[in-house]
Amino acid sequence: MTFALPGPERAGVARLAFERSGPRTVVRTALAHSPLRLLTPRNHGHAAWAYTSSFGGGLVDGDHLRLEVDVADGASALLATQGANRVYRSPNGCRSDLVARVGRDALLAWVPDPTVCFTDARYSQSLDVTLSQGASLVLVDVVTAGRSARGERWAFLHYASRLRVARGGRALVDERWVLDPAHGALPERLGRFDALASVLLVGPALKDARDALAARVAGLPVKPRAREVVSASPLGEDGLLLRVAAVSLETLLATTRDWLSFLPGLLGDDPWARRV
């Protein structure tokens, strides 16, 4: 995997590499350029954990962050964030990119905190993951209406997210979705919903979890004025894409956390146990 150096327009780049060492996974490389920071806490499981954060507490106009991740064959890694991805007023735009390679029979769990776009924020992100044979991936992407308590409900200028996951040169998922008031006022279009999430499960290590979740979601009735609306889309023989729209972030996080209740067993420790 080739790791690019930051160009003049990029505010920060980080590189993470995980490898198997006996029964455990260790962090081989953790390199970050300001304003990105990397934290690699110890845990009681066999997987290695890493958390990203940024100086200044969020993205400002012109920021371009890039995180490049390599999970070696047989390794297991959890990648998360230390807090919400806050995007401040950015009329010229800012962006973040995740580029990851997951080796043979390896596991990557990318479970960041939600993205919160403030009034007049303009933000784009890309999530690009390449899976080797037998590799597994848990990927979560959550976006909220913003600071609703301050009257900033869906008040940003632009939000775009690109998701691409490929195995053996074949795309399992390749999609881009956009929230932009130029296409119609966002509060009216999104109605009562204040948070949206996608949860992607791919690979052999997640077969039991996928089967159980697909069965649960398929049996959910659609009720008028429901607090959340959920859908499930199978991706070939070893993938499942879940989506949920919820009336509050708290409702959405309770649902996604429940969906991911299998994750501590895969990692050997609970990544949420010590979080408030």
Main-chain dihedrals φ then ψ at residue 192, nearest 5 degrees? -80, -5
Per-residue pLDDT tens digits of the chain, which is 276 residues long: 333 333 344 468 999 999 999 999 999 999 999 888 999 999 899 999 999 988 777 899 999 999 999 999 999 999 999 999 999 999 999 999 999 999 999 999 999 999 999 999 999 999 999 999 999 999 999 999 998 878 889 999 999 999 999 998 899 999 999 999 999 999 999 999 999 999 999 999 999 999 999 999 987 777 888 899 999 999 988 999 999 999 999 999 999 999 999 999 999 999 988 664
Predicted local confidence at residue 219, as pLDDT: 73
Alpha-carbon Rg for the chain, nearest whole angstrom, is: 18
Residue type, 259: W
Predicted local confidence at residue 225, as pLDDT: 85
Can you tell me whether residue 262 is helix, strand or coil?
coil
Question: How far is 217 from 242, CA to CA, in rounded Å?
Answer: 9
By DSSP bridging, strand 136-144 and strand 107-110 are parallel
Predicted local confidence at residue 221, as pLDDT: 76
Cβ atoms of 107 and 136 within 8 Å: the answer is yes
Predicted local confidence at residue 11, as pLDDT: 62
Main-chain dihedrals φ then ψ at residue 154, nearest 5 degrees? 50, 45
Predicted local confidence at residue 38, as pLDDT: 94
Predicted local confidence at residue 9, as pLDDT: 47
